[in-house]
């Protein structure tokens, strides 16, 4: 059974309406204080909400690219570590060859040649062990593609270099311990020349990788700044000023108390009717 309509005085109805609006504003302010945002859904401000969402999504996409760049940097560093070790080992191999060239002893040349051959084998081993997560840039067949933007249109290809192939000629130079000393010396000198060429090739490869690494590092720093810019932009569109919202809450609480008092005063006029009885 429906209740009969209750008639309120004009003053009571006006105060009740004000209290209801104050309660709604308090709910909104409490939500902003709880979430730290003044725009929590598209209903609050559709333009700012979707614009901020777009900034946040792009920042997330760039963050994924930044992680990929970090992995690419580690791959290049692994190859660079290998090139540094190989450069040192080439210098050691050349020292062995120079020692062999400085002696006329067939026995010494034989021993030094054996050490030299072992050194070249170790260089090949270092090249094979310079990979990172299954990618070895010291092999020409391997490469990596680093993407910088969210849609992949901006990228950089880092091609591998076959270090073992560059060192190959150093092993096929003839016998250092040839019975004819001059023939052996010529073979040793050929080894030295090949090592010098291999060293130059390795240095060139190192410079190329260093340039690629510098580019990726610069783009990584740029991406960091872009992510911060996008996140700041999104925050400016939707974040609330907590100091302002805190002050609003205090004022609304005060208004609510005054409204309740005003409603009580307005009801006294209706209660005065009871004095007639």
Per-position DSSP letters for 125-136, written without gaps between them: HHHHT--BTTB-
The answer for 134, left when phi > 0, alpha when psi is -120 to 50, beta otherwise, is left
Give the CATH number of the domain where residue 176 resides. 1.20.1330.10
pLDDT at residue 258 greater than cutoff 80:
no
* Domain shared by 30 and 163, yes or no: no
pLDDT at residue 172 greater than cutoff 50:
no
Our count of domains for the chain comes to: 2
* Domain shared by 210 and 266, yes or no: no
Most distant CA atoms of the chain, gap in Å: 143
* Sign, CA torsion 183/186/191/197: negative
Work out the pLDDT band at 173, boundaries 50, 70, 90: very low
Give the per-residue pLDDT at 268.
66
Give the per-residue pLDDT at 144.
93
Comparing 22 with 187, which gets the higher pLDDT? Answer: 187
List % helix, strand, coil for the chain (3-state, nearest 5): 75, 5, 20
* Domain shared by 124 and 194, yes or no: yes
Give the per-residue pLDDT at 277.
55
* Domain shared by 166 and 265, yes or no: no
Instruction: Name which of 198-202, 218-222, 245-249, 259-263 the model is least confident about.
Output: 259-263
Give the per-residue pLDDT at 93.
93
* Domain shared by 96 and 159, yes or no: yes
Alpha-carbon gap, residue 3 to 9, rounded angstroms: 18
Give the per-residue pLDDT at 241.
75
Work out the pLDDT band at 100, boundaries 50, 70, 90: very high
* Domain shared by 139 and 110, yes or no: yes
Give the per-residue pLDDT at 167.
67
Is there a contact between 131 and 78 (Cβ–Cβ < 8 Å)? yes
Asked, for residue 53, whether it belongs to a domain, the answer is: no
* Domain shared by 97 and 196, yes or no: yes
* Domain shared by 28 and 80, yes or no: no
Asked, for residue 103, whether it belongs to a domain, the answer is: yes
Strands 155-159 and 143-147: antiparallel
How far apart, in Å, do the first and last CA atoms of the chain sit? 31
* Domain shared by 255 and 224, yes or no: no
Asked, for residue 42, whether it belongs to a domain, the answer is: no
Residues 6+ apart with CB under 8 A from 189: 101
* Domain shared by 253 and 179, yes or no: no
Asked, for residue 155, whether it belongs to a domain, the answer is: yes
Comparing 277 with 120, which gets the higher pLDDT? Answer: 120
Alpha-carbon gap, residue 72 to 79, rounded angstroms: 11
Residue 254, both tokens? 């005060």
Cβ-based neighbour number of residue 205 at 10 Å? 22
Alpha-carbon gap, residue 85 to 172, rounded angstroms: 22
* Domain shared by 161 and 87, yes or no: yes
| pLDDT digit string, tens, across residues 89-98 | 999 999 999 9
Average pLDDT of the residues in 14-19: 74
Tell me which residue range forms the domain holding 129.
Answer: 64-238
* Domain shared by 98 and 116, yes or no: yes
Asked, for residue 56, whether it belongs to a domain, the answer is: no
Range of 10-14, 100-104, 236-240 with top mean pLDDT: 100-104
Give the per-residue pLDDT at 273.
57
Instruction: Name which of 4-13, 57-66, 200-209 the model is least confident about.
Output: 4-13
pLDDT at residue 1 greater than cutoff 50:
no
Work out the pLDDT band at 166, boundaries 50, 70, 90: low
DSSP assignment string, 7-60: P--HHHHHHHHHHHHHHHHHHHHHHHHHHSBS--STTT-HHHHHHHHHHHHHHH
- Please list the residues that pair with 132 across neighbouring strands: 135
Asked, for residue 196, whether it belongs to a domain, the answer is: yes
**What pTM was computed for the model?**
0.74
Asked, for residue 183, whether it belongs to a domain, the answer is: yes
Asked, for residue 141, whether it belongs to a domain, the answer is: yes
**Nearest 10 degrees: Cα torsion 126, 127, 129, 134:** 170
């Amino acid at each position: 059974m429906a209740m009969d309509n209750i008639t309120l005085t004009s003053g009571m109805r006006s105060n009740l309406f004000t209290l209801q609006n104050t309660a709604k504003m308090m709910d909104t302010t409490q939500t902003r204080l709880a979430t730290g945002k003044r725009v929590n859904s598209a209903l609050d401000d559709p333009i700012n909400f979707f614009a901020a969402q777009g900034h946040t999504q792009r920042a997330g996409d760039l963050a994924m690219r930044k992680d990929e760049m970090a992995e690419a940097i580690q791959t290049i560093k692994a190859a660079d570590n290998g090139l540094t070790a190989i450069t040192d080992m080439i210098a050691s191999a050349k020292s062995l060859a120079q020692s062999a060239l400085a002696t006329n002893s067939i026995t010494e040349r034989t021993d030094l040649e054996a050490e030299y051959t072992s050194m070249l084998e170790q260089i090949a081993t270092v090249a094979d062990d310079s990979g990172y997560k299954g990618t070895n840039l010291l092999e020409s067949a391997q490469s990596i593609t680093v993407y910088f933007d969210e849609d992949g249109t901006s990228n950089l290809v880092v091609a591998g270099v076959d270090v073992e192939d560059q060192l190959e000629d150093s092993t096929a130079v003839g016998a250092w311990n040839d019975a004819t000393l001059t023939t052996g010396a010529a073979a040793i000198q050929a080894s030295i020349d090949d090592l010098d060429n291999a060293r130059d090739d390795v240095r060139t490869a190192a410079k190329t990788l260093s340039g690629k690494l510098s580019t990726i590092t610069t783009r990584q720093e740029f991406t960091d700044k872009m992510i911060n810019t996008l996140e700041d932009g999104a925050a400016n569109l939707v974040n609330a000023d907590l100091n302002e919202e805190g002050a609003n809450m205090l004022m609304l609480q005060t208004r609510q108390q005054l409204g309740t008092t005003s409603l009580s005063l307005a009801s006294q006029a209706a209660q005065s009717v009871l004095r007639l009885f």
